[in-house]
Amino acid sequence: MKQLKMLVSKLAIALIAFVAILSKIAVPVEAEGGDNEKIVVYSQVPDDWENPCVWAWDEDGNSAFDMWPGGVMDQDKNNDGWYYIYIPSWANHIIINANNGEVQTDEIILEEAVNTWVTVNAPDDVSIVTDKLTTGDIPEYVEKFPVHVRAEDSWGVPFLQGSLEDGTYAFEDDLGKEMLLDSTNWYTADIPVSAKTITVSSEDGKSKTEDIKIDAAEVWVNIESDGTYEFSYMDPDKAAAPNITIHVTAPSDWEKPCLWAWSAPDGTGVYSTWPGEALEEGENGWLIKEVPGWVNSIIVNACDGSVQTADISIDSGVDVWVVVSDKDSYEVYYEEVEVATNTGDDENDSKDKVADSTEAVNQTDHNEEQEVAGAKKENTANNTTLPIVGGIVALAAVVGAGTYAIRRKSK
C-alpha cells in the first residue's frame, strides 16, 4: 500500500476509526454523464455546524476531493435539516465536517458501496443507517466544477451565482451561493457544468461583477473593489513560480527511483498518477527532476512500488538536494554536497553517503511503522502531529492552515 500523508484539522484529537456494520444494501446510484458510479451520503448535523462538508477516501489513500474540507453538502429542500452529497462508490471512508473544517466527526467506514444516512449528534456520537430516513426522491446527481474567488476585503464573504443553459439561475437565492474560504485562501464554490456565465457578489449584495462568460472548467477569479476582474484557468499563485530542480541520491537497490511532488496545503500534484515520474541522470552522481517552483513536498520512491520515503517537506522556489539513506532516513540540503559511493560487496556499503552531514536537515526515522486509521504520531522535523488514515495522512490544519498531500484517484 502506497503511503501518503497530510495534516488533520486543528481539533488536536486523535481520530478513532470505527466500523459501521451495515445490514441492508442499497442500490448505488449511477451518476448521469459520469464515468464513476456514485452513492449518496445524507447527513443531519448539530445546529451550530455551518456549511457541512464531506471528506472521502479509500483504504489506499485515494481521495475523492482535491483539498480539505472536501465536498460541500447541499441542502435537501424537501427534507428540512438534511444535507446530501454524491461521492464515488469506491470512497468508503468519510469524515463529515463543518465551520470550514473546524469541527468534524471521527472517521466513518462504509462497509459497502451504499446510499447512507448519517446522523451527527456530536463529533464522537454518530449513527449511520442504510434505511432511507428522508422522504421523496433523492435529488439527481449534477456534475459541477469549482470557482475560486479573491476580492477586496470590503466585499466580505463573496457569493456565487450563475446562468444555466436554459436561462435559469444556478442557485435559488438571487444573491447565489455563499462561498467558503479554503486552505489556499481562495473563496470556493461549485457550480453546475451547464453554467454559461457566472456572477460574483459582495456579502451585502451592493457590489457585483458583470456576467462573466466562462468554460465549464475550474477557474480562478481576482476581483477589484469596483467589480472589475481577471480570471484564469490556471492557479495564478502557481503559474508565477519558476521551475526548480530536485537532486536526489537513493539506495542502489531502489529500482529506477521516481519522484512524486505536490503543493501543500492545497494538494495540487505535479503528476496525475502514482508513482510520479522517473528521476533522470544528472551531474556529480545526482538524479534530478525539474518541477514547478511552487512544489513544497516530495516523496522519493522506487518506480516499481516496492519502497518509498515518507513525505518530505522542502522550501519552495529554490533548488534542493535530498540524500535518501533508506526508506526511514533522509537528509535535505539547499546547496550541493559531495556524494561518495562505495562500490564494495557489502549491501549496506553500497548505499550513497554524503560528506559533511552536519549541514543537513536531518529527517531520520521520519516514516515509522504506519498505524491504523486515525492514530497520531509525531513528526520530529516540524513538531506537528500527523494522523494516518488508510496509508494517507488525512486532513488539514495546524493553527488554521495545514499541510497535506493528496493522491487523486486514477480515472
| For residues 10-15, average pLDDT | 31
Is 116 a residue whose pLDDT tops 70?
yes
Range of the domain at 244: 239-385
Is 386 a residue whose pLDDT tops 80?
no
Residue 331 covered by a domain: yes
Asked if 249 and 257 touch (Cβ cutoff 8 Å), the reply is no
CA–CA distances in Å: residue 290 to residues 241, 317, 338, 373 = 13, 12, 20, 34
Is 348 a residue whose pLDDT tops 60?
no
Measured distance CA(19)–CA(331) in Å, rounded: 39
Q: How many structural domains is the chain composed of?
A: 3
Residue 128 — pLDDT band, cuts 50, 70, 90?
A: very high
Beta carbons within 8 Å of 355's beta carbon, 6+ residues apart: 337, 338, 340
Measured distance CA(166)–CA(49) in Å, rounded: 34
Residue 341 — pLDDT band, cuts 50, 70, 90?
A: low
**Phi, psi (rounded to 5 degrees) for 359:** -85, -5
Identify whether residues 291 and 350 lie together within a single domain.
yes
CATH code for position 227 = 2.60.40.10
Is 74 a residue whose pLDDT tops 50?
yes
Is 389 a residue whose pLDDT tops 50?
no
Identify whether residues 223 and 112 lie together within a single domain.
no
Is 265 a residue whose pLDDT tops 80?
no
37-52 as b/e: b if 16+ CB within 10 A: ebbbbbbbbeeebebb
The set of cell numbers assigned to 283 is: 551531474
What local confidence, expressed as pLDDT, does residue 239 receive? 76
Is 384 a residue whose pLDDT tops 80?
no
| For residues 227-251, average pLDDT | 90
Residue 290 — pLDDT band, cuts 50, 70, 90?
A: very high
* Average per-residue pLDDT for the chain: 77
Asked if 134 and 76 touch (Cβ cutoff 8 Å), the reply is yes
Residue 343 covered by a domain: yes
Residue 217 covered by a domain: yes
Looking at per-residue confidence, does 272 or 113 come out higher?
113
What local confidence, expressed as pLDDT, does residue 340 receive? 63
Measured distance CA(178)–CA(187) in Å, rounded: 9
Is 347 a residue whose pLDDT tops 80?
no
Percentage of residues of the chain with pLDDT beyond 70: 73
Percentage of residues of the chain with pLDDT beyond 90: 57
Identify whether residues 230 and 243 lie together within a single domain.
no
Residue 391 — pLDDT band, cuts 50, 70, 90?
A: very low
Last residue in a domain, options 196, 211, 236: 236
What local confidence, expressed as pLDDT, does residue 21 receive? 23
Residue 376 — pLDDT band, cuts 50, 70, 90?
A: very low
Residue 375 covered by a domain: yes
Computed over its alpha carbons, how large is the radius of gyration of the chain?
23
Asked if 382 and 53 touch (Cβ cutoff 8 Å), the reply is no
Last residue in a domain, options 184, 215, 236: 236
CATH code for position 69 = 2.60.40
Question: Global pTM?
Answer: 0.60
Identify whether residues 286 and 346 lie together within a single domain.
yes
**Phi, psi (rounded to 5 degrees) for 39:** -125, 165
Identify whether residues 244 and 379 lie together within a single domain.
yes
In the block, cell 517537506 appears at 313
Residue 120 covered by a domain: yes
**pLDDT 10s digits, 349-373:** 433 444 443 344 444 333 333 222 2
Identify whether residues 297 and 200 lie together within a single domain.
no
* Stretch among 47-61, 307-321, 354-368, 371-385 having the lowest mean pLDDT: 371-385
CA–CA distances in Å: residue 112 to residues 21, 83, 94, 205, 269 = 9, 21, 13, 44, 29
Identify whether residues 245 and 211 lie together within a single domain.
no
Identify whether residues 243 and 370 lie together within a single domain.
yes
**Furthest C-alpha separation in the chain:** 75
Identify whether residues 305 and 366 lie together within a single domain.
yes
Identify whether residues 120 and 190 lie together within a single domain.
no
Residue 189 covered by a domain: yes
Last residue in a domain, options 129, 154, 179: 129
| For residues 330-337, average pLDDT | 93
Residue 6: closest CA among 313, 331, 302: 313
**pLDDT 10s digits, 146-197:** 999 999 999 999 999 999 988 899 998 889 999 998 877 899 999 999 999 9
Find residue 261's DSSP bridge partners: 298
What local confidence, expressed as pLDDT, does residue 65 receive? 86
Looking at per-residue confidence, does 367 or 337 come out higher?
337
What local confidence, expressed as pLDDT, does residue 115 receive? 96
Identify whether residues 215 and 245 lie together within a single domain.
no
In the block, cell 535535505 appears at 332
**pLDDT 10s digits, 196-213:** 999 999 999 999 999 999
Residue 315 covered by a domain: yes
In the block, cell 479573491 appears at 150
Asked if 269 and 313 touch (Cβ cutoff 8 Å), the reply is no
Measured distance CA(122)–CA(335) in Å, rounded: 50
Identify whether residues 223 and 243 lie together within a single domain.
no
Residue 284 covered by a domain: yes
What local confidence, expressed as pLDDT, does residue 107 receive? 95
CA–CA distances in Å: residue 405 to residues 25, 41, 394 = 33, 24, 8
* Stretch among 22-31, 78-87, 199-208, 307-316 having the lowest mean pLDDT: 22-31
